[in-house]
Amino acid sequence: MVHGQGKKLPWNELRNFDIILTTYGTLSAEYKRYEKYIEDQRKAGNILDREIDQAPMKKLFPLVGPQSNFYRVILDEAQCIKSKQTGAARAACFLKSQTRFCLTGTPMMNNVGELYSLIHFLKIKPYNEYTTFQKVGSSNSGNMF
């Protein structure tokens, strides 16, 4: 389980496990730290990502770091990422994996626009691009989203 203080393993150790469980909060917090780290590195003069030292990122960001690549990511209660602006949604969509699944009993509650984050996470082309998603919705029913 990757959750709470002191539960961080570097990516090279984490990758040895068949199943890794975490929370949306843990994932979101790590992604927020990752974004700040990248911004700080750019301000320090490391303009291009390839110039940023990757070694400390294995320990600091085992879930979202550049070396982190999962075989399968499954979001349980996927409606938790229904708003594309939340840290949880941005972090989940940022994960690198070969296969992605969403499990939810309530994929949308208020409007069809809440499906966008799930489609974006699942990388269903061409609808995983927000402008395309909006165009399809607005051309079908006036202004669906």
Domain contains 40: yes
Tens-digit pLDDT profile for residues 27-44? 999 999 999 998 888 887
Tens-digit pLDDT profile for residues 61-72? 999 988 889 999
Q: Are 37 and 59 in contact (CB under 8 A)?
A: no
Domain contains 135: yes
How many independent structural domains does the chain possess? Answer: 1
Domain contains 3: no
Domain contains 6: no
Domain contains 5: no
Domain contains 1: no
Domain residues for 59?
11-141
For tokens 């690549």, the residue is 69
Confidence of residue 141 (pLDDT cuts 50, 70, 90): low
Three-class SS state of 84: coil
Domain contains 86: yes
Please report the pLDDT score of residue 109 as a whole number: 76
Q: Which residues of 24-43 are buried (b: 16+ CB within 10 A; e: fewer)?
A: bebbbebbeebeebbeebee
Rounded CA gap, 70 and 125, in Å?
20
**Beta-bridge mates of residue 99:** 72
Domain contains 89: yes
